Chains A and B, each alone.
Chain A
Amino acid sequence: GGSGLLGAATEDGAQPAPERVLFPPTFSVSEIKNKQRRHFMFLRWKQQQRKEKLAAKKKRRKEREALGDKAPPKAVPKTIENQRVYDETTVDPNDEEVAFDEATDEFAPYFNRQTVPKILITTSDRPRGRTVRFCEQLATVIPNSHVYYRRGLALKRIIPQCIARDFTDLIVINEDRKIPNGLVLSHLPDGPTAHFRMSSVRLRKEIKRKGKEPTEHVPEIILNNFTTRLGHSIGRMLASLFPHDPQFIGRQVATFHNQRDYIFFRFHRYIFKSEKKVGIQELGPRFTLKLRSLQKGTFDSKFGEYEWIHKRREMDTSRRKFHL
Chain B
Amino acid sequence: SPQVVWDTLGNRQFCSYKITTKTQNFCRNEYNLTGLCNRSSCPLANSQYATVREEKGRCYLYMKTIERAAFPRRLWERVLLNKNYEKALEEIDENLIYWPRFIRHKCKQRFTKITQYLIRIRKLTLKRQRKIVPLRRKLERREKRREEKALIAAQLDNAIEKELLERLKQDTYGDIYNFPIHAFDKALQQQEEESESESDAQEDEEDEEDKREFVEAEDSDLSDFEDMDKLETSSEEEQEEEKEVEEEPSHSKSKGKAPLKGPARRKRRYIEIEYEEETEPATKTTTA
Q: Which residues of the partner chain B approach A312 to less than 8 Å between Cβ atoms?
A: 139
A-B interface pairs (CB < 8 A), number: 111
Is B161 part of the contact surface with A, judged by Cβ < 8 Å?
yes
Interface residues of A in 205-264 (CB under 8 A from B): 209-211, 220, 222, 224, 248-249, 253, 255, 257, 259-262, 264
The one of A211, A222, A288 in contact with B147, judged by C-beta atoms closer than 8 angstroms, is A288
Is B187 part of the contact surface with A, judged by Cβ < 8 Å?
no
A80 touches B153 (CB 8 A): yes
Q: Which residues of the partner chain B approach A260 to less than 8 Å between Cβ atoms?
A: 146, 149-150, 153
Within the complex, the shortest CB–CB distance from A9 to chain B, in Å, comes to 38
Distance of A163 Cα from B181 Cα, bound (Å)? 51
A79 touches B153 (CB 8 A): yes
Is B71 part of the contact surface with A, judged by Cβ < 8 Å?
no
Selecting from B11-19, B58-66, B103-111, B235-243, the interface stretch reads B235-243
Chain A, interface size category, equals: 35 or more
B235 touches A274 (CB 8 A): yes
Interface centre among B128, B144, B182, B227 (most CB of A within 10 A): B128
The one of A272, A277, A288 in contact with B177, judged by C-beta atoms closer than 8 angstroms, is A272
Distance of A254 Cα from B176 Cα, bound (Å)? 20
Q: Which residues of the partner chain A approach B246 to less than 8 Å between Cβ atoms?
A: 210
Question: SS class of chain A's interface: helix, strand, loop or mixed?
Answer: strand
B163 touches A222 (CB 8 A): yes
Q: Which residues of the partner chain B approach A266 to less than 8 Å between Cβ atoms?
A: 156, 160
Q: Which residues of the partner chain B approach A249 to less than 8 Å between Cβ atoms?
A: 176
Q: Which residues of the partner chain A approach B176 to less than 8 Å between Cβ atoms?
A: 248-249
Is A279 part of the contact surface with B, judged by Cβ < 8 Å?
yes
A270 touches B181 (CB 8 A): no
Distance of A257 Cα from B159 Cα, bound (Å)? 9
Least CB separation from A154: chain B residue: B128
The one of A220, A261, A277, A288 in contact with B241, judged by C-beta atoms closer than 8 angstroms, is A277
A200 touches B147 (CB 8 A): yes
Q: Which residues of the partner chain B approach A281 to less than 8 Å between Cβ atoms?
A: 242-245
A276 touches B165 (CB 8 A): yes
Interface residues of B in 130-148 (CB under 8 A from A): 139, 143-144, 146-147
The one of B127, B156, B173 in contact with A248, judged by C-beta atoms closer than 8 angstroms, is B173
A151-182 vs B, Cβ < 8 Å mask (1 yes, 0 no): 01010000000000000000000000000000
Is B154 part of the contact surface with A, judged by Cβ < 8 Å?
yes
Q: Which residues of the partner chain A approach B173 to less than 8 Å between Cβ atoms?
A: 248
Is A37 part of the contact surface with B, judged by Cβ < 8 Å?
no
Is A199 part of the contact surface with B, judged by Cβ < 8 Å?
yes
Within the complex, the shortest CB–CB distance from B265 to chain A, in Å, comes to 13
Interface residues of B in 71-126 (CB under 8 A from A): none
The one of A211, A253, A257, A276 in contact with B244, judged by C-beta atoms closer than 8 angstroms, is A211
Instruction: Show the binding face of B for A, using Cβ within 8 Å.
Output: 127-128, 139, 143-144, 146-147, 149-151, 153-154, 156-157, 159-161, 163-165, 167-168, 173-174, 176-177, 179, 181-182, 185, 227, 231-232, 235, 241-246, 267
Instruction: Show the binding face of A for B, using Cβ within 8 Å.
Output: 79-81, 152, 154, 199-200, 209-211, 220, 222, 224, 248-249, 253, 255, 257, 259-262, 264, 266, 268-281, 288, 290, 312
A259-B153, A261-B150 given; name 14 further pairs at CB < 8 Å. Answer: A154-B128, A210-B246, A257-B156, A260-B146, A260-B153, A262-B150, A264-B154, A266-B160, A271-B227, A272-B168, A275-B182, A279-B243, A280-B161, A312-B139
A-B residue pairs, 9 tightest by C-beta: A259-B154, A275-B182, A275-B179, A260-B150, A259-B150, A273-B235, A262-B150, A273-B231, A278-B164
